[in-house]
Amino acid sequence: MELTLPAHPGFYMEFQKNVSLKNYTTFKIGGMAKYFFKVRTKEDLIKAVNTAKKLKLPFFVLGGGSNLLVSDKGYDGIAIKIKNEKLKIKNKNKKFKNIYCEAGVLLGEIVDLAIQNNLTGLEWAIGIPGTVGGAVFGNAGAFQKSMKDIVKEVEVLDAKDLRFKIYDFKKCKFGYRNSVFKRKKNLIILSVVFKLKKEKKSEIKKKIKKCLNYKKERQPLDYPSAGSIFKNPSGFSAGELGEESKLSSSPFAAARQGEEDESSSSTIAAAWLIEKCGLKGKIIGQAKISEKHANFIVNLGNARAKDVKKLINLIKKEVKKKFGVLLDEEIQFL
């Protein structure tokens, strides 16, 4: 079916056909989207969703593409790229400030704004390449912190009835790398209000430096990737993992050092499990399990989604075989 968009004043949505999605993901992998929209306003978003309904096509909302693996075959639907990018301080008092942030704002921008205004709570997000909308969608986190610690409310468009709705913190139903928005794909995040606490800039910069140093030392930042592939499993004791885990507390300690935002004494680092299976450095095609961090799969140049999936399946098989633990993917598939 041919797609014809109306042209009239106020219609700002950018529309393209057969767009390579690999250029919109941090993995730099993936085929073509049949249709591609860039939306900057609420009106744009409604028109994009209505277009999908009219054509009876699925749609996918794309943020920064930092937690996503796109199929080599592409996407036979409408990819909606969120590009609303307003960011401002809403109120000021001695202890807290509310920051209004639209979904298309890069995490780095709001981290910079927080530093400039002596606000703490976002230091853990330094260096994460995603957008605010995507981070709230997946309750992104690190260093025992996550989005759920700072979100006050979220504005969404409900694609079912095309109504705008406000979700307070309780309605967001945040969990480990999860939220109501991830479970109910009809809820499209438009903007977020964060509540951040005042702190001395010198203390904020210390936290920022610590987080950056940790990532530089332990994460493969020189290659395209989607970040951590698997969630860190929980609910296990050292004894249940066999003799390997008794050699050191590392599988549990590592999970509390930048991988997991709701860590406990029973949380295991997925990277430790993968490493102990001897899978570091394993290559299929141009996809490789990082030697620096085993929970990262990196693109050596021209990796394909099918090669990444083969490595994912290999990891799950070997970890299950050795430890009896079934890993659950953190990344999204399209």
pLDDT band at 155 (very low <50, low <70, confident <90, very high): very high
pLDDT band at 88 (very low <50, low <70, confident <90, very high): very high
- Is residue 143 within 8 Å of residue 258, measured between CB atoms? yes
* Alpha helix segments (H runs only) across the chain: 42-55, 107-116, 132-137, 169-172, 180-183, 201-218, 243-246, 250-254, 270-276, 305-323
Residue 236 confidence (pLDDT): 61
Residue 235 confidence (pLDDT): 67
Q: What number is the average pLDDT over the span 34-58?
A: 94
pTM for the full predicted model: 0.88
Catalytic residue at 123? no
Q: What number is the average pLDDT over the span 38-46?
A: 94
- Identify the residue whose tokens are 């029973």: 266
Beta-carbon contacts of residue 331 (< 8 Å; ≥ 6 apart):
67, 68, 69, 226, 227, 228, 229
Distances (CA, A) of 111 to 51, 149, 167, 207, 317: 35, 15, 23, 12, 38
Q: Tell which wins on pLDDT, 225 or 15.
A: 225
pLDDT band at 92 (very low <50, low <70, confident <90, very high): low
List the domains of the chain with CATH numbers. 14-82 (3.30.43.10), 87-203 (3.30.465.10), 223-333 (3.90.78.10)
Residue 267 confidence (pLDDT): 76
Residue 175 has pLDDT above 70, yes or no: yes
Catalytic residue at 228? yes
pLDDT, tens digit, 9 for 90 and up, residues 4-22? 554 443 445 688 999 999 9
Residue 266 confidence (pLDDT): 63
DSSP structure string for 268-291: --HHHHHHHTT-TT-EETTEEE-S
pLDDT band at 283 (very low <50, low <70, confident <90, very high): very high
For helices 201-218 and 107-116, give the axis angle rounded to 10 degrees.
150
Residue 2 has pLDDT above 90, yes or no: no
pLDDT band at 234 (very low <50, low <70, confident <90, very high): confident
Q: What number is the average pLDDT over the span 72-81?
A: 96
Pick the range with the lowest mean pLDDT from 88-92, 296-300, 330-334: 88-92
Pick the range with the lowest mean pLDDT from 97-111, 253-267, 286-300: 253-267
In degrees and rounded to multiples of 5, residue 31 shows phi and psi of: -90, -160
Catalytic residue at 217? no
Residue 60 confidence (pLDDT): 96
Pick the catalytic residue: 66, 228, 263, 290? 228
Pick the catalytic residue: 146, 177, 191, 304? 177
| The pair of three-digit structure tokens given for residue 220, joined into one six-digit string | 């493969």
User: CA 167 to CA 239: how far, in whole Å?
Assistant: 42
- Is residue 305 within 8 Å of residue 42, measured between CB atoms? no
Q: What number is the average pLDDT over the span 112-126?
A: 93
Q: What number is the average pLDDT over the span 304-322?
A: 97
CA 179, chain centre distance (Å): 12
Residue 108 confidence (pLDDT): 93
| Mean pLDDT comparison of 204-213, 243-252, 309-318, highest-scoring range | 309-318
Residue 240 confidence (pLDDT): 55
pLDDT, tens digit, 9 for 90 and up, residues 246-278? 444 455 445 444 444 444 556 788 999 999 999
Percentage of the chain exceeding pLDDT 70: 86
Q: What number is the average pLDDT over the span 159-170?
A: 96
